[in-house]
Amino acid sequence: MTGAYSVTFGRILNRLLSSAEWMAWEASLARNARDYAKGTDIVREGERPAALRVVLSGWAQKYKQLPDGRRQILALVLPGQPCDLDLFTVGRTDHSLSAVRRLTVAEIGRQEAGSLLRQCPNLAQLLCWGEIVTAAIQREWTINIGQRNAIERVAQLMCEIFARQHGIPVSGGGECDFLLTQGQLAEATGLTQVHVNRTVQQLRRRCAVELRNLRLFIPDFAELAGIAAFNANYLHLDGTDRAVERVTALFRGIERD
């Protein structure tokens, strides 16, 4: 597939799917790939779910918008991750989904998705794990907006985006994709765009963090994480084998019942 899997999802996928399941999953993704231009709505709030969507390259954003136009970005979906399981769970979507920039997403229709789940029994475990991590990230975003100040909010989001792509560096820092504009960064952190601009400049002065050409440069990850009081436990980057064992045991218990 195009793009790289996010760290956690990729590790779980490699451990859960058999080679035959992997080939069927990849073939389905490639067969159902569709491109979207920057800012295009893929799903609008209130629509009936029509497909299981998986990001192949680029980023997708979940959002809700008030009648006066104010918008809150609720989540970012990175390559390899399902956008949600609405196809199997709700009659109408309760949020919108759009392309952050140019986006390629696989849209697997209901019939094929059902067939794929029957053909690939371990795929259900993978999707279950993805929803668990998504819920954990959502909780962290809630406390980010509710309790952290401006510089902590932006630093937290930068740390998360880096860690979801590359994990936590043992020392020093690095760089990663950062496809958000300052306006989108404001919508994700509950700040004004002017406030975000000042905050990014403040972070540049304090720890040399820089946003340039859709890339995020972090010279010292530990320093940035210290500003945000960032704790990566909610991303479940470690203990992948134990996580797979727990998810597998859960599904075996369900099958016995």
Q: Residue 9 in 3-state DSSP? A: helix
Q: Measure CA 104 to chain center.
A: 14
Sheet harboring 60-65: ordered strands across? 41-43, 96-99, 60-65, 71-77
Specify the higher pLDDT residue, 222 or 133: 222
Question: Does the CA dihedral 180-74-61-41 come out positive or negative?
Answer: negative
The fold of 149-228 is: Arc Repressor Mutant, subunit A (1.10.10)
- pLDDT above 90 covers a percentage of the chain that reads 72
Say what the pTM is.
0.89
User: What ranges do the domains of the chain cover?
Assistant: 7-142, 149-228
User: What pLDDT was estimated at residue 128?
Assistant: 82
Residue 227 pLDDT level (bands cut at 50, 70, 90):
very high
pLDDT in tens, 153-200: 999 999 999 999 999 999 999 999 999 999 999 999 999 999 999 999
pLDDT, mean of residues 73-97: 91
Q: 7-142 with 149-228: one CATH topology?
A: no
Q: Residue 175 in 3-state DSSP? A: strand
- String of DSSP letters for 108-156: EEHHHHHHHHHH-HHHHHHHHHHHHHHHHHHHHHHHHHHH--HHHHHHH
pLDDT in tens, 36-79: 999 999 999 999 999 999 999 999 999 999 999 999 999 999 99
Instruction: For the chain, give the mean pLDDT.
Output: 89
User: What pLDDT was estimated at residue 4?
Assistant: 47
Task: Pick one of 3.50.50.60, 2.40.40.20, 2.60.40.10, 2.60.120.10 as the CATH number of 7-142.
Answer: 2.60.120.10
